[in-house]
Chain A
Amino acid sequence: MKHTLAKALYPVACAFILLSQPGPVLAQHQPAASIPAADLIQPADLATSLKSATTPKPLILQVGFRKLYAQAHIPGSEYIGAAGEDAGLQLLRERAATLSKDTGIVIYCGCCPWSHCPNIAAAYGALHAMGFTRVKVLYIADNFGDDWVKRGYPVVAGG
């Protein structure tokens, strides 16, 4: 009972602590759970499609923190900025403004466990609001290290 209550109050506690911290200008927090399941792509499926010679490659955008991207990122992916912050969200909109609305896009972060990610839903929401129709979100349950790198999917460093 105690455990259930603590679990239920956890998101509230997280939100309270985050909002009470003097940090960068944060975009309004949207939970990753708000992203429709139909728009998620599993790491194994993306890795398979990247290997395929016939499947058209999506544009892959990393919307998390730069120090993560610099250590390891999906080959060919572009670093945008942390979409949980207004500055990162603006960079995403600027990049997206150069694209056709039917561009196949995959966004990913992996900074922290899915339910705590401050970036991914904000990025999805921004692209959706701009009218992009083929946006997929890489579902990273725990973090990029465990769910992508340790599974042996392709990575490069730098940037």
Chain B
Amino acid sequence: MAGVRVLPAIVCLTALALATPMLAAASLAHDSALRMAPDFTRTDLDGKSLDLRKYRGKVVLLNFWATWCGPCLIEIPTFSAWQNTYRTAGLQVVGISMDDDTAPVKRLYQKDRLNYPVAMGDAELGELFGGVLGLPLTYLIDTDGRIVGRYQGEPDLKQLEARIKSLLPRP
């Protein structure tokens, strides 16, 4: 008899446990207005072609930032360190500057010796990603090109690093 009473509770809890990741995924899809990262091509600050699709097979940390954005400048050295640490494991950091002018971005890129490609963003690129309407904004993209994380504002860097490590193809 007791088992009969417990059974519905077990069913409910199991359903909840199964539904929670789905709800989270739905929320992510709603937030980023997409599931697959949209492909785009830009010329980076070194004059090379930056094609997001070419990074399939790698985990991509796509960071929208600007030189005047304090929190952006705080996290960039960490992203640079991760690029060094996890490069061979399959991480690729990509920076997209939303500065209006290229000159300060180039100066910072050279001064800080950023070790990942940086390109200038624009409104069109922002709209592709559901709107870059505040900085910093960072997307985590898995090896299949799916957006698996969207971080508006300052992310918890420890949690983000753990998430990256869990996705790397060659940990």
Contacts and interface: CB of A to CB of B under 8 A. Distances in A.
Interface residues of A, number: 33
A111 B127 contact: no
A22 B68 CA distance: 10
Contact of A67 (B69, B103, B122): B122
A156 to B, nearest CB: 12
Interface stretch (A37-45, A94-102, A112-120, A127-135): A112-120
Given A67-B122, A143-B152, A23 B107 contact: yes
A25 B65 CA distance: 18
Contacts of A13: 74
Given A67-B121, A113-B153, A21 B73 contact: yes
A113 B69 CA distance: 10
A84 B104 CA distance: 14
A159 B43 CA distance: 23
Contacts of A15: 70
Interface residues of B, number: 32
A24 interface: yes
Contacts of B154: 113
B133 interface: yes
Contact of A85 (B68, B103, B121): B68
Interface in B99-123: 99-101, 103-104, 107-108, 111, 121-123
A142 to B, nearest CB: 6
Interface in A39-59: none
A116 B71 contact: yes
A146 B132 CA distance: 11
A113 B68 contact: no
Contacts of B74: 13-14, 17
B70 A149 contact: no
B131 A142 contact: no
Contacts of B135: 111-112, 143
Contact of A142 (B72, B103, B153): B153
A18 B68 contact: yes
13 contacts: A14-B71, A21-B111, A23-B68, A68-B132, A68-B133, A71-B131, A110-B134, A112-B72, A113-B153, A143-B153, A145-B131, A145-B134, A145-B152
Interface of A: 13-15, 17-18, 21-24, 26, 65-68, 70-72, 82, 84-85, 110-113, 116, 118, 142-146, 149, 157
Given A22-B111, A26-B68, 6 more contacts: A14-B71, A17-B70, A71-B127, A111-B135, A113-B71, A144-B133
